Amino acid sequence: MGSLLVPIVKTYRYFANMNHMRRILTVLFKNGLGMFFGGLRDLVPRKYTESVHSDERQETLPVRIRKTLVELGPTFVKLGQMLSTRPDVIGAEYVAEFSKLQDEVPPFSFDEVKEIVERELGRPLTEIFREFSEEPSAAASIAQGHRAVLKDGTVVFVKIQRPEIRKKILADIEVLGFLSRHVDEHFPNLRYLLLPRLVEQFRTSILEELDFNVERGNIKHFARQFANEKALVVPKVWDEFSTGQVLTMEWIDGISGNRFEELRQSGCDLVKLANDGAELALKQFFTYGFFHADPHPGNIFILPGNRICYIDFGLCGRITDQERSLFCRMLMSVLERDERHVARMLLKLTVYEQEPDLDDLECAVGEFIDRNFYGEIRDLDVPGALRQLYELCRQFRLSLKPHIYLMVRAMGLSDNLGRKLDPSFDLQAHLRPYVQATVLRQLDIRKSAHRHLEELVDLRDNLAAAPGGLRSFFAQLMGGKLVLRHSLDDREEFLRFYLHAQNRRTVATCAAGTMVASALLMLAKIPPIWHGASVWGELGFCLSILMLAVLAFDILRVDK
């Protein structure tokens, strides 16, 4: 029975995804973005494939794309928000426009909240919580949070995932993946954007955000990492009241990091907060390699005693020891004004379709250093320098590796917060010891010797395996048994469209054949006879009309 259901499920998913893609393409064409998907216009109603309306022509492309993302829903809004933080990939005009995207959606009902929590935790709400606020404290596109009180009197924050959101996002991402590969294939001048790679990164990020077990693990990792850090508070989580769709954590009652006037009036030591915040951030980057990747002021709370508390651990980054070393060596080369070495390090920290000319890149890096590092480091305009670095990357079609970018962005946010808390704040004074320590660790003789020994062992193993591999290759080649495996990009998507067209032809052929056969049965009056006509002929006519109706409905649904 199960094997019989497989083709039915596959057929359902095929038509469901096809209809979903058709809806998305319709919105894209309606908003004047059809120029990127001309080869798919047959899937869109004809009235939307005509020229863009005059009012749409007056709007800039970034504005039209932003409005389209809003109309397409939460998944696409989140994609736009992610792109708004990647000025090294898209231009400043797009960053400014996408930054207007708000992750604001109406909350879902308390009945749904109660149903999800009780299903996930396996117990009635009243058995777990003494109190549970029906009104959400916060609502976003993926989840919303409620204030609650456990049976022992502990105040907690319960985060609940929106119903059916995972299914909707997965369907959106599948279509996004196909459309990104379509643009990448048909627009060679846009390949430097590496759209399929961006969509895959977005997919990984949002799937982690959909699994609250990942955020729970991030919080625990962070807590272990800073177990002895008195200046930091990490929210406690309750494993027994948490699942992949429900997260129960400590309620944090403090002053948000973006309420600067309230912080001043509360008597907090702002200079200490700025310095402690910088030390905590740099330890994450250069000592541990695991860091909170979105430390904007709204995600930081200040508690009594000048203690700092990070919230929302859905986005965390990891950077390897090797990447930390490359980044620190690049920073030291910037300070030493060694533009050639900076250019080489930058290439190792980015991804690109085609390596740029090193001399041109070196010249641009030299201009970047002259423009930003001509005076005292404490006077450096960090946001301005980062904007110029991102523009340099765009100029040479380089894209910073995801976690390198997250670290650079988090470092910029930390510097910005430090300067707002303390105008005399100097990130460089905190940064230099970490950079030097990271570089010196790489120069440690014992560590270097161990690394080279491992490389020699790998080389020995590869050389030892080479003769056997060559013998096997030539034996298969001479014996005619050599098998070459290859893959075709977009094969599945191509097969879907191809099979859809073939199915249309098959249905049309079967309908025509059934109609002809039915006519012959009617003429020959093959029994049984009913009202002077062959029953088999009448049934055949009905079947052929039904097949033609299905075919006409499929065609009209696309072409109307």
ω into 235 cis (within 30 of 0): no
For the chain, how big is the Rg over CA atoms in Å?
30
**Rounded to the nearest 5 degrees, what angle is found at the Cα of 498, between the Cα atoms of 497 and 499?**
95
Handedness of CA 257, 260, 266, 267 (dihedral sign): positive
Chain center to CA of 342: 29
Query: Per-residue DSSP letters for 363-417?
Result: HHHHHHHHHHSSS-GGG--HHHHHHHHHHHHHHTT-EE-HHHHHHHHHHHHHHHH
Burial of 12 (0-12, 13-18, 19+ CB in 10 A): exposed
Bridge partners (DSSP) listed for residue 256: 301
Q: What is the largest CA-CA distance in the chain?
A: 103
Q: Is 379 known to be catalytic?
A: no
At 438, which helix (H) or strand (E)?
helix 427-443
- Separation of alpha carbons 126 and 161, rounded Å: 20
Could you say which of 88, 172, 294, 312 is catalytic? 294
Residues in CB range of 507: below 8 A, 6 or more apart: 547, 550, 551
DSSP strand pairing (155-161 vs 143-150): antiparallel
Are 207 and 283 in contact, with CB atoms under 8 Å apart? no
What residue spans of 34-164 are helical by DSSP H?
A: 54-57, 61-72, 74-84, 92-98, 110-121, 125-128
Residue 341, CB-side half-sphere exposure with 13 Å CA sphere: 13
**Rounded to the nearest 5 degrees, what angle is found at the Cα of 180, between the Cα atoms of 393 and 295?**
50
Are 355 and 334 in contact, with CB atoms under 8 Å apart? no
- Separation of alpha carbons 346 and 365, rounded Å: 9
Torsion region of 301: left, alpha or beta (phi above 0 gives left; psi -120 to 50 gives alpha): beta
| Sheet (strand 307-310) strand order | 232-233, 307-310, 300-303, 255-256
DSSP state of 489: T
At 306, which helix (H) or strand (E)?
none
Tokens of residue 59, six digits: 């709007």
Q: Number of H helices and number of E strands within the chain?
A: 21, 15
What residues act catalytically? Answer: 294
